Chains A and B, each alone.
Chain A
Amino acid sequence: MFSRALWARQIAPLRRQAIAPFASRRSVTTDAASAHAEDIPQEDDKPFTVRLSDESFETYEIDPPPYTLQTTKRELKKMYHDLVSIRRMEMAADRLYKEKKIRGFCHLSTGQEAVAVGIEHAITKDDKLITAYRCHGFALMRGGTVKAIIGELLGRREGIAYGKGGSMHMFAPNFFGGNGIVGAQVPVGAGLAFAQQYSGEQTATVALYGDGAANQGQVFEAYNMAKLWNLPIIFGCENNKYGMGTSAARASALTDYYQRGQYIPGLKINGMDVLAIKAAVQYGRDYTVSGKGPLVYEYVTYRYGGHSMSDPGTTYRSREEIQRMRSTHDAIAGLKQKLLDWEVVTDEELKAIDKDARSSVDEEVAEAEKMALPDPTSRILFEDIYVRGSEPRWMRGRSVDETFYY
């Protein structure tokens, strides 16, 4: 009826892969310093043109974005400041976790900062963003403060979700989390985009997920609805090459995630170059807001650390691979080199930005650490159940004597 030999034969490729993992084809560059610019103006706010590497994008059924990007010195400096701030904040989370001050699950985005920063610099505050659990950087970019984010990790009342959510559950205005269930945020993103379309807003939704999440059925259900109803959404796969310990090639029959929308145009983007990301998302936003329908983006990036704090991140990939990405493809180092090459800043000025970003993050982290622990009282359980003003008179507690009166 069912022959084991047949099964073994069919599964043979799987066995081969188990022995010799093959590197997935990644033909866009991940060089973080591949853009060019000349004739930089003196003034901070005077626009000038940056030329992106022609290996910044790969397209699927769509023309590439312009390979030029209008920017200013002020913006470049802000981008750099943002990148450094996220990394510094993630490092603080790393330390606090190792000091056992942060409990629970904690996923850092170290290495992937350019995605959060590039997207934020391309969209408006009215656009919507939703992502998975690797969300600290996005929460910061969308307007969360370091203090509230670290406070959340520490389980403090002043945390961004009152300390009730922890690492994976951070919300901010027009930022819909922070979602723990892999893939579940993608159809939710389609719903956000539908509401934007329905209410006639000229805005878009950016819905992010990982290369592992890309295999969840509901991602494809969301694609279909978005195309069917022409929703203003940019689906975005943050391809950091691994879903926990499984490499993209071992989990995905097609690792070109930007082509997985089939009937939806797609773009593969150098996810280590914040400028390429900004150019792509700006272009995609205009495209989708103008009613042309959804897009599927793939940001080719890399996570330096383990999947979460409990994963050393070295059992399923080589130390050399990590080292190579860190030392030659780093988004922060790449932009830094450009800022100096283009003489956007002097050495001194750059050091000052670095210092400012680090010390303001450090200060806020220190403040968060000083926040009081929540009172060990069950009254906290009765909060956040009803919209203020709509509560019933009382709510039953764990026992009759614990009845809580609003």
Chain B
Amino acid sequence: MFPSRTVVRSFPRWFSASSASSGSARLNVPIDYKTTPLLHHTPSSLATSLEFPRSASTKRLNLYQSINAALRTALSTSEKVILFGEDVAFGGVFRCSMDLQTEFGSERVFNTPLTEQGIVGFAIGAAAEGMRPVAEIQFADYVFPAFDQVVNEAAKFRYREGTTGANVGGLVVRMPCGAVGHGALYHTQSPESLFSHVPGVRVVMPRSPSQAKGLLLSAILECNDPVIFMEPKVLYRAAVEHVPIESYTIPLSKAEVIKLGKHLTVISYGQPLYLCSAAIAAAEKAMNGVEIELIDLRTIYPWDRPTILESVKKTGRAVVVHESMVNYGVGAEVAATIQAGAFLRLEAPVKRVAGWSTHTGLSYEPFILPDVTRIYDAIQQTLEY
């Protein structure tokens, strides 16, 4: 995947450059989704990735529209696909299921009572009979009543099916996650690490509309495991890009190198990738000659260890960034894997930039979540270690 090269261990060039740390006023500006290199602002940029179909027709969609498009594709591809959850018939609180009941009928797209444990259990049963149920949990913060169903029923299904071959592949539990700036305690959480502790489920978080469509279609139509599909809700409207109109899938459990680099690897997923991209741009500008690699995990569990290890063996330095709390988080797992698999190539300890281990009081979200400055500092400290 990467051009083979020898690792240069000489004193890095950027040490001579003046790298006065940038004040947060300059770095922590709102993400400009209209110009970020992470989104496909023109159809032609889609062609740079082999994962997208080679067709010319694209449409500019935001994240909720692309989720809607993926659901529509799934519902029309297979009669086995059904879609349900609280208020889903009217489009859902974020409009992801807009018009789908009208198009596919109330026997395939329907509202459930307010009953998360029931929703997920019901979905597992349907999947075990060969359906491909897409269950929506209104907010990730509300999935916990269903935690037992995910951990003890869905995840262990294939392990305990004996010789029957039964599985709950096709089961997808979708949920909006993450902070928007004013969600407080119960509209902010990102519980991916809780699910990632459990073998038997796949945990996916897309970063953009085009990624979301391909990953969601993989999860619904192709995957043999139950999938927890987490959608960063701040991107629903903010992230707009060209998305191929036809059906396509993006493989699960495969990370993507978004930007190549030589001196440091930044690993992240979901919305913080935009912060990483901004911090990397600032660092590369301030520190002459530095080239930083950026990797999107995409599937958080089971995750793509080879891609990350290969990158860190090349760069010798790594920073892991995520929004959810740092304690026992995804960063801990990634850092531990790197130190075990790339120890002799490491030039600096692996740093984690993540949410602090506290609850998100309404007024205090900006203090708690990672921002561009914190990522920039971590990059600088790791490079100068």
Evaluate contact between A14 and B106: CB separation under 8 angstroms: yes
Q: How large is the interface on A (under 10, 10 to 19, 20 to 34, 35 or more residues)?
A: 35 or more
Contact of B362 among A14, A155, A246 (CB under 8 A): A155
- Residues of B within 8 Å of A165, CB to CB, are 184-185, 361-362
Q: Indicate whether A218 sits within 8 Å of B115 (C-beta atoms), given known contacts A164-B363, A315-B90.
A: no
Cβ-defined contact, A398 with B364, below 8 A: no
User: Once the chains are docked, how many angstroms separate the CA of A103 from the CA of B147?
Assistant: 30
Selected from B114, B129, B184, B363, the residue in CB contact (under 8 A) with A182 is: B114
Contact present for B115 and A244 (CB under 8 Å): no
Asked if A380 is an interface residue, CB under 8 A from chain B, the answer is yes
Q: Does B339 contact A (CB under 8 A)?
A: no
Interchain CB contact (< 8 A) of B184 among A7, A169, A218: A169
What is the bound-complex CA distance between A164 and B361, given in angstroms?
Answer: 4
Q: Given A168-B186, A381-B356, does the pair A250, B362 have CB atoms closer than 8 Å?
A: no
- Check B363 against A155 for contact (C-beta < 8 Å): yes
Give CA–CA (A198, B317) in the complex, Å.
59
Tell whether A195 is near chain B: CB-to-CB under 8 Å.
Answer: no
Q: Is the beta-carbon distance between B86 and A244 smaller than 8 angstroms? A: yes
- From the candidates B93, B110, B131, B141, name the one contacting A14 in the complex (CB within 8 A): B110
Dominant SS at the A interface?
Answer: loop
CB distance from A305 to the nearest CB of B (A): 17
B347-385 CB mask vs A (1 if < 8 Å, else 0) is 000000000101001111001100000100100000000
Please give, as numbers and ranges, the residues of chain B lying within 8 Å of A14 by CB-CB distance: 106-107, 110
Residue contact B362 to A166, C-beta cutoff 8 Å:
yes
Q: Is A216 an interface residue (CB 8 A)?
A: yes
In the complex, which residues of chain A have a beta carbon less than 8 angstroms from the beta carbon of B86?
243-244, 246
Given A104-B182, A244-B87, check contact A378 B367 (CB 8 Å).
yes
Query: How far, in angstroms, from A315 to B79 measured CA to CA in the complex?
Result: 29
* Chain A: minimal CB distance from B147 (Å): 12
Q: Which residues of the partner chain A approach B374 to less than 8 Å between Cβ atoms?
A: 398
Whether the Cβ atoms of A217 and B106 lie closer than 8 Å is no
The answer to whether B367 and A212 have CB atoms under 8 Å apart is no
Determine if A380 and B364 form an interchain contact, defined as CB atoms under 8 angstroms apart.
yes
| A381:B364 contact, CB within 8 angstroms | yes
Please indicate the chain B residues that have their CB under 8 angstroms from the CB of A212 in the complex. Answer: 113-114
Instruction: Evaluate contact between B114 and A15: CB separation under 8 angstroms.
Output: no
B107–A7 touching, CB < 8 Å: yes
Choice from A162, A181, A316 contacting B90 with Cβ under 8 Å: A316
Report if A180-B185 is in contact (Cβ < 8 Å); known contacts: A215-B114, A216-B114: yes
Interface: A251 (CB within 8 A): yes
- Decide yes or no whether B89 CB sits under 8 A from chain A: yes
| CB-nearest residue of chain A to B129 | A2
Q: List, in ascending order, chain A residues with CB within 8 A of B101's CB.
A: 18
Chain A residues lying within 8 Å of B182, measured Cβ to Cβ, are: 103-104
A138 to B356, CA, bound (A): 33
Whether B107 and A217, one on each chain, are in contact in the complex, defined by CB atoms closer than 8 angstroms, is: no
| Residues 37-67 of B at the A interface (beta carbon under 8 Å) | none
- Cα–Cα, bound, A399→B353 (Å): 11
A1 with B130: CB separation less than 8 A: yes
Cβ of A4 and Cβ of B79 under 8 Å apart?
Answer: yes
Judged by a CB distance under 8 angstroms, whether A163 is at the interface is yes
A11 with B107: in contact, given A18-B101, A165-B185 (CB under 8 Å)? yes
Q: In the complex, given contacts A180-B141, A180-B185, what are 20 additional A-B residue pairs having Cβ atoms less than 8 angstroms apart? A: A1-B130, A4-B79, A103-B362, A104-B183, A105-B183, A105-B187, A163-B362, A180-B184, A180-B186, A181-B142, A215-B118, A217-B117, A243-B114, A244-B87, A244-B93, A250-B111, A251-B112, A378-B367, A380-B364, A385-B358
- 20 sample A-B contacts, Cβ–Cβ < 8 Å, listed by A number: A2-B129, A2-B131, A11-B106, A14-B106, A18-B89, A104-B183, A105-B183, A164-B363, A164-B364, A166-B184, A181-B186, A182-B142, A183-B114, A215-B113, A216-B117, A244-B86, A244-B93, A251-B113, A374-B363, A381-B368
A residues with a Cβ closer than 8 A to B are 1-2, 4, 7-8, 11, 14-15, 18, 103-105, 155, 162-166, 168-169, 180-184, 212-213, 215-218, 243-246, 250-252, 315-316, 374, 378, 380-381, 385, 398-399
Chain B residues in the interface with A (C-beta under 8 A): 79, 86-87, 89-90, 93, 101, 105-107, 110-118, 129-131, 141-142, 144-145, 181-187, 356, 358, 361-364, 367-368, 374, 377
